[in-house]
Amino acid sequence: MNLGSRDLRAVIALVEERNFTRAAQRCHLSQPAFSALIRTIEEGLGARLFERSTRNVELTPEGRLFESSARRALADLDAMVDDFRDHATRRKGRVAVAALPSLAAGWLPAVLAEYRRRYPGIELELFDTLSDGCIALVRGKRVDFALASAAGDDAEFSTEVLCSDGFYLVCPHGHPLAAVDKVRVKDLQRHPFVHLARSSSVRQHLEAAFHPLRMRTVLEVEHLASVAGLVKAGLGITVVPELTLFHFERAGLVVKPLQARGLARTIYLVRRRSGRLSAAAQALYDLALERLPAPRRRRAGRRLIG
Amino acid sequence: MNLGSRDLRAVIALVEERNFTRAAQRCHLSQPAFSALIRTIEEGLGARLFERSTRNVELTPEGRLFESSARRALADLDAMVDDFRDHATRRKGRVAVAALPSLAAGWLPAVLAEYRRRYPGIELELFDTLSDGCIALVRGKRVDFALASAAGDDAEFSTEVLCSDGFYLVCPHGHPLAAVDKVRVKDLQRHPFVHLARSSSVRQHLEAAFHPLRMRTVLEVEHLASVAGLVKAGLGITVVPELTLFHFERAGLVVKPLQARGLARTIYLVRRRSGRLSAAAQALYDLALERLPAPRRRRAGRRLIG
DNA sequence: CACACTTACGATATTCGTAAGGATT
DNA sequence: AATCCTTACGAATATCGTAAGTGTG
């Protein structure tokens, strides 16, 4: 037998109205159609739900059991439908995203804030971790997608370029390099360097860019804020991508675009290839693409990405 | 929107089969009809439940939420229908009945035993109490109906005669009355009486029958078994209805029908007038009427009830 | 080209509302 | 007589299955 929410509503309406005519109105049906509906339900169940006399309509003793179950079942069905719609329309939900620490601290918060304004009912979760960690979180389904610099296996992951992130020299005011017009990679070779850890994507790009030149490493730390402090104190210079510059500008350091063709890291949106993103996740994904990190106008007047 | 158990079954079939053709077979539908059904459900919900590519069918992330709810809701609906049917067909249920102590000890147990054989899934509850208590239990909805000697208010209760219960003299062997051929009420006047409590229906019938004659009361007790013991010990005689005779015959006493027109108590089936009995209660009610207490062939050869 | 889902379409069932019928107060 | 549920019946609607269409591996 096929019992639907419509049927349950009809039964409950009749229980409450104790009158076919009024219950029919509540169900937007003519009274005979409503009568037939109740009859059909009763036939499907195999026994009467209501005891009718011309002047009175009331539940049978078995009908009374049915009523309480029916109310619960109808509430469950309605809640189920509402919940589905809420998720589909992004009134409810949850998005988990992984992002490189530089993005998580600089550009992403504004995007998340806008997302939250648009979809206040959706819970957000952010993992700020290095690229390998980001990819692992995507693989392990801990996050819906990641903002990372390394694109993983193409069979497992679907990647899309978010932006290209050019590299900048950072040095203290008064440093010899601060006066150089166009800084080239080989200009840096003689100066002591403060580095990020080898596991960071920034460092890996740098190593590749300098090869086969050597760098004079004085210190190696985990966090960009530490790098900024060390450079500020005159321990060395550093080279970092554009999206991290807010750290150094806040610290009152000189930042200068590096004249180095091909020295740029690419930031990708990375997600699992199988399945699709939830409505909530897709909306954040799309918003990220809309609010691309705006490249600053470089001294040379070129834009990094079209 | 109208979401039915049929719809839920279709969704669940498709989740499990991940294939429209096989899921359609499970639902006894042609594949296009099944496809249309899923489409209709999705339109009603306002978003896709399934992601289809020609070679693969899988739930959307929102659909995954829906699935688990749908399984629960479907199980609830099915359980609700099954439960209703079980109650309507007397595979489940509960009957509470009140009965006079004489009936509860003598005739009723065999009826209950037969009922239980027929409907082993139905719980039984029996209150053995005096007539007023029986009526009160009916009024308070503690029992479905009662077997009592007093019919209550006709507006509140519906009553039906179960049987008429004739009165018998009970005396010890060798007692002068044991030899009398046809015992009349006035023959008893001179003998000491053992009585039931004034609140019992038996006593009330007796008082009416003897009026205006006086009875020589020696003792007054609550239980028939006590009366039997006292009569056996020679303290007096007693008069009791036929349905209690098993007590006295077991005790080896003489029982003789009383020649007294109109001296009989009527046993009624008493139930509330409003509402109807549950299927389980109605079955016991009907069985009681089928298994009427069989009147014994009296010496005079007359039957008390037709 | 084979498989799987969708669309098209005519046939069948179901459901609907109006009007008449019947029962109860 | 008034009220309320049921039955009757033609019309509108929904659902079904067959057959053709479309897209993907």
- Contact flag B81-A277 (C-beta cutoff 8 Å): no
Counting residues of chain A whose pLDDT is more than 70, the rounded percentage is: 97
Q: Which residue is nearest to nucleotide C8 (CA to C1')?
A: B32
- Copy the structure tokens of residue B65: 């939420």
Query: Poorest-confidence range of B156-160, B286-290, B298-302?
Result: B298-302
Measured CA to CA in angstroms, residue B189 lies from A99, A117, B185, B214, B217 at distances of: 108, 100, 7, 7, 10
Asked if the C-beta of A55 comes within 8 angstroms of chain B's C-beta atoms, the answer is: no
* B299 contact partners, CB below 8 Å, separation of at least 6: B182, B256, B257
> Quick check: B276 and B193 in contact, CB under 8 A?
no
> Given this model, what pLDDT does residue A150 score?
82
Q: Which residues pair with A256 in a beta bridge?
A: A169
Chain B residue with CA closest to A75: the answer is: B73
- The mean pLDDT of B209-234, rounded to a whole number, is 90
Give residue B150's pLDDT.
82
Mutation site, B50, B60, B95, interface A, largest A CB count within 10 A: B60
Region of A9 (left: φ > 0; alpha: ψ -120 to 50; beta: rest) is alpha
**What is the greatest pairwise CA distance in chain B?**
104
Structure tokens at B10: 């279709």
Tell me the C-alpha distance between B41 and B205, whole Å.
Answer: 71
Q: Is the Cβ pair A83, B65 closer than 8 Å?
A: yes
Say if the Cβ atoms of B47 and A277 lie within 8 Å: no
DSSP B237: B
A36's CB contacts (< 8 A; 6+ apart) are: none
Q: Which nucleotide is nearest to A33 (CA to C1')?
A: C16
pLDDT at residue number A31: 96
Kindly give, in sequence order, each residue whose CB lies less than 8 Å from that of residue A16, ignoring residues fewer than 6 positions away: A23
Does the CB of A91 have a partner CB in chain B at under 8 Å?
Answer: no
Given A4, A61, A65, which is nearest B4 (Cβ)? Answer: A4
**Is-contact A209 A263, C-beta < 8 A?**
yes
Report in angstroms the alpha-carbon separations of A190 from A149, A177, A209, A214, A253. Answer: 28, 11, 16, 9, 20
- Enter the tokens of residue B144: 């479905």
The pLDDT assigned to A63 comes to: 96
Give me the CA B62–C1' D24 separation in Å, rounded. Answer: 25
Query: What are the tens digits of pLDDT across the range A228-284?
Result: 999 999 999 999 999 999 999 999 999 999 988 778 899 999 999 888 999 999 999
pLDDT at B43 over 50: yes
| Record: contact B5-A6, CB cut-off 8 A | no
Query: What are the distances in angstroms from CA B204 to CA B100, B135, B199?
Result: 14, 16, 7
Q: How confident is the model at residue B303 (pLDDT cuts 50, 70, 90)?
A: very low
pLDDT at A274: 87
Q: What is the average pLDDT across A215-226? A: 92
The reported pLDDT for the residue numbered B298 is 57
Is the pLDDT confidence value at A289 over 80?
yes
Cβ pair A103, A147 in contact under 8 A: yes
CA dihedral A235, A237, A239, A241 (to 10 degrees): 70
In chain B, residues with a C-beta closer than 8 Å to the C-beta of A43 are: none
Examine residue B176 and say whether the peptide bond preceding it is cis (omega within 30 degrees of 0). no
Residues having Cβ less than 7 A from any atom in strand D: A 19-21, 31-32, 35-36, 38-39, 52, 54-55, 57; B 28-33, 36-37, 40, 53-55
Alpha helix (H) residue ranges in chain B: 5-17, 20-26, 31-45, 61-88, 101-105, 108-118, 131-139, 201-210, 224-232, 245-250, 279-290
Can you tell me the mean pLDDT for B111-127? 98
CB atoms under 10 Å from CB of B258, counted, come to: 20
CB A50 within 8 A of CB A59: yes
Length of chain B: 306
Amino acid A77 CA to nucleotide C23 C1' distance, rounded Å: 38
Q: Please name the nucleotide lying closest to A50, CA to C1'.
A: D5
CB A179 within 8 A of CB A140: no
Nearest CA in chain B to A58: B275
Report residue B302's pLDDT band, with 50, 70 and 90 as the boundaries. very low
Which among A40, A62, A278 is the top mutation candidate for probing chain B, defined by the most B β-carbons within 10 Å of its own β-carbon? A62
- Taken in order B137, B140, B143, B147, the sign of the CA dihedral is positive
Greatest CA separation for chain A: 104
Residue A193: per-residue pLDDT = 95
The pLDDT confidence band at residue A306, using thresholds 50, 70 and 90, is very low
Give the pLDDT confidence score for residue A154 in this predicted structure.
79
Read off the pLDDT of each residue in B167-176 and give the average, rounded to a whole number. 94
Cβ-based contacts of A4 with chain B (< 8 Å): 2-7
Residue B53 has pLDDT above 90, yes or no: no
> What is the spatial distance between Cα A96 and Cα A94, in angstroms, rounded to a whole number?
7
pLDDT value of residue B297: 62
Beta carbons of A80 and B73 less than 8 Å apart: yes
Closest CA to B78 of B11, B4, B23: B4
- Nearest-Cα distance to chain A for B67, in Å, is 10
- pTM to 2 decimal places: 0.86
Angle in degrees, CA A207, A211, A216, rounded to 5: 65
Residue A205: the pLDDT is 87
Using pLDDT thresholds of 50, 70 and 90, give the confidence band for residue A94.
very high
d(CA A29, CA A22): 10
Are A62 and B2 inside 8 Å of each other by CB? no
User: Rounded to an integer, what distance in angstroms lies between the CA atom of residue B33 and that of residue B39?
Assistant: 10
pLDDT higher than 90, residue A151? no
Which phi and psi angles does A255 have, rounded to 5°? -120, 135
Mean pLDDT, chain B, rounded, equals: 92
B46 contacts on A by Cβ (under 8 Å)? 85, 88-89
| Higher pLDDT pick, A68 / A215 | A68
Phi-psi region of B199 (alpha: psi -120 to 50; beta: other; left: phi over 0): alpha
Mean pLDDT of A182-187: 89
Q: What local confidence, expressed as pLDDT, does residue A297 receive?
A: 63
pLDDT in tens, B122-136: 999 999 999 999 999
Query: CB–CB of A108/A126 below 8 Å?
Result: yes
Model confidence pLDDT, tens digit, residues A105-150 = 999 999 999 999 999 999 999 999 999 999 999 999 999 999 999 8
